[in-house]
Amino acid sequence: MNDLEELAAFRAQVREPDTDRLANGRDRLVREALGQNGPATGGRRSSEARDRRRLRFPKWQIGLAAGVAVAGAAAVAAVALNGEDSAPAPIAARPVSATQILERAAKTVASRPDQRPAPNQWVYTRTYQVMQKNAPSSLRHKEEWVRFDGRESAAYDARPGKKPRLIVSQTKPDGDSEERSPSQWYDYLRALPHDPSALLAKIDQRAKTYNAENGGRLYTGQDGRDQWVFGRLADFLGLGPSTPPSGRAAIFRALARIPGVQVKEGTKDALGRPGTTVSRTGPDGTREEFVLAPGTYDYRGRRIVATKARHLPNPPGVRVRGGDAPDIPAGSALGDQAVEVAAIVDRAGQRP
């Protein structure tokens, strides 16, 4: 381990900055997720730009890579309306060198064959989302099938009191926006630079473009842009079989070069499975984390953590006896999601 790596490992053991030094980005996150922000300024916006403001990833992969705003708002709503923590705080674990671990992950996944699924095969995902303690289990687990060419999607209609029924829907992917099909994402990610510096430069430029289209609302400053790039690369990992192994290797190496990225071993995901957590705290005090399986470095889920205690106002139109919503303690997980299974199958309804 060289001096820089030792310094990074030491820095990971230092506690979070004092909350008074962190920006109150939690409020901005909630406003964005609840749709309270007005339209972006700066001229006419295309429909593609509006899509980018709503989602940083396509609707079908919400089960794989929950975005900060979407997952955070759902968790905050659970706290605000029910007075319950939405998820346990992340487990403190041994910090290790981000450079060493992410390079090891890159070498591991790069050795796997690049086998592009057939257009008529399906991407199957089963995810677990931490919700209110009294939420039905059917709301915590989600199964979904998406044809690799994006022409169809399927899910079970499992309403209480009725026999589960597989519903297959026609879909129309849009290769020019974030609403890409699995095959379009696969080709897009395979075509990205494999050199980590070039990959970071490419995503950094995309960050600048998106931020300009959204009137500067996505982030502010270099630290904010680094956080956006970190989240974007984590989203790519969360695409499951739609991310080619060569693309995963480049992503791991690029993540290691982003300032402030930390890695801890001996952590757990939302299902309690052991893992290695990669994280970064943004200038607004929100920490984004994703969990990798030990040894294989497969993506196991995403977590969003508030590093600052917040007292949130009630959502618009919602009244809670006693006034505003209760405080969210520092260290609370605002969103916690685990990928139970992500695989390629031959037909809708089939499970690996």
The predicted pLDDT at position 307 comes to 86
- Please count the CA atoms within 13 angstroms of the CA of 287 that sit on its side-chain side: 26
Say how far apart CA 298 and CA 312 lie, in whole Å. 35
The mean-pLDDT minimum among 36-50, 204-218, 260-274, 287-301 falls in 36-50
pLDDT in tens, 180-224: 899 999 999 999 999 999 999 999 999 999 999 999 998 999 999
Quick one: pLDDT at residue 139? 59
Token code pair at residue 143: 């199964």
Q: For residue 4, count other CB atoms closer than 10 A to its CB.
A: 10
Confidence of residue 56 (pLDDT cuts 50, 70, 90): very low
Express each pLDDT in 57-73 by its tens digit.
444 444 344 343 334 44
Please tell me the distance from the alpha carbon of residue 48 to that of residue 62, in angstroms, as a whole number: 18
pLDDT score recorded for residue 318: 64
pLDDT of residue 341 exceeding 70: yes
Where residue 174 falls (left for φ over 0; alpha for ψ -120 to 50; beta otherwise) is: beta
The pLDDT of residue 183 is 95
Q: Which amino acid is at 332?
A: S
Q: What is the mean pLDDT of residues 45-65?
A: 42
88 has pLDDT over 50 = no
What is the reported pLDDT for 117? Answer: 96
- The rounded distance, in Å, linking the Cα atoms of 329 and 339 is 26
Instruction: Please indicate whether residue 50 or residue 94 has the higher confidence score (pLDDT).
Output: 94
Comparing 148-157, 180-189, 303-312, which segment has the lowest mean pLDDT?
Answer: 303-312
Rounded to the nearest integer, the mean pLDDT of the chain is: 76
